[in-house]
Amino acid sequence: MAVPERGPRERMVFSAAQLIRRDGVSSTGMRDVAAHARAPRGSLQHYFPGGKEQLVNEAVGWAGRYAGNRVARFLAALPEPTPGALFALMVRQWTDEYETHGFGGGCPVAAATVDRAGSADSTREAASAAFTGWTGAVARALADMGVPAERSAPLATLMISSLEGAILIARAERSVRALTTVARELGPLLDAALPGAGSGPSPGAAPGSDAFLLE
């Protein structure tokens, strides 16, 4: 909500992402997008001559860029950045939304993947690019923290996989349990990838370091 004061085109892309992440791609109609963006219906065919597929692809791309930028902002907000703390922030973004706005929405990239990966190849590629960009941003953040180069990309993939899966489970259960669980379980493992750490703290029983406990 609070549609920003951008042009109608950008508003429609933004609204498409919003509606897709709530209802899925197939259940989101073009008319709904225009109405949600308070944009004239006639503008759809003007700005998106490629039809729904183009609109969906741009929405997915927008979401991917948003997620990537968000990682950079998270990194900047951390006083002393560690991988586990970054992951806790990524998870917290979702727990905060679910606790204040309800469990209405998921990840638009996941939605696009689930019901277009098998039918619209361009959308599948858009989703792939979104995941790649997001993973790259996380991997760069990890590398900045000192995680060895050959470990940063795999760990980024693990973080995003766990987050996406936990989002799914959280929506189904209408509970943030899965999200807080993965943050708590994965945090110690992630911090153990830092060069300073020996074999790392005993996982799941990190004493004193409660950066993984959201709330």
Partner DNA sequence: CCGCTACTATGACAGCGGTCATAGACGTCA
Partner DNA sequence: TGACGTCTATGACCGCTGTCATAGTAGCGG
Give me the residues that bind DNA (CB under 7 A), please: 8, 27-32, 39-47, 51-53
CB of 8 to DNA, least distance (A): 5
Contact present, 91 and 151 (Cβ < 8 Å): no
Q: How deeply is 119 buried, as exposed, middle or buried, from its count of CB atoms within 10 A (0-12, 13-18, 19+)?
A: exposed
CB of 75 to DNA, least distance (A): 36
Contact present, 27 and 16 (Cβ < 8 Å): no
Q: Which is nearer to DNA, 51 or 104 (CB)?
A: 51
Q: Which is nearer to its own copies, 19 or 44 (CB)?
A: 19
Q: Which is nearer to DNA, 8 or 165 (CB)?
A: 8
CB of 51 to DNA, least distance (A): 3
Look at residue 202 and give the partner it binds from its own copies, DNA, none, a contact being a CB closer than 5 to 8 Å depending on partner kind: its own copies
d(CA 193, CA 189): 7
d(CA 154, CA 139): 8
CB of 45 to DNA, least distance (A): 5
CA 24, distance to chain mean position in Å, is 15
Look at residue 46 and give the partner it binds from DNA, its own copies, none, a contact being a CB closer than 5 to 8 Å depending on partner kind: DNA
Q: Which is nearer to DNA, 27 or 161 (CB)?
A: 27
Contact present, 78 and 147 (Cβ < 8 Å): no
All residues at 6 or more sequence positions from 171 whose CB lies less than 8 Å from its CB, including other chains:
103, 106
Binding site for its own copies (CB under 8 A): 22-27, 103-106, 109-111, 113-119, 124, 127-128, 130-132, 151, 154-155, 157-158, 160-166, 168-169, 171-174, 177-178, 181-182, 184-186, 189, 192-193, 198-204
Six token digits for residue 207: 């004493």
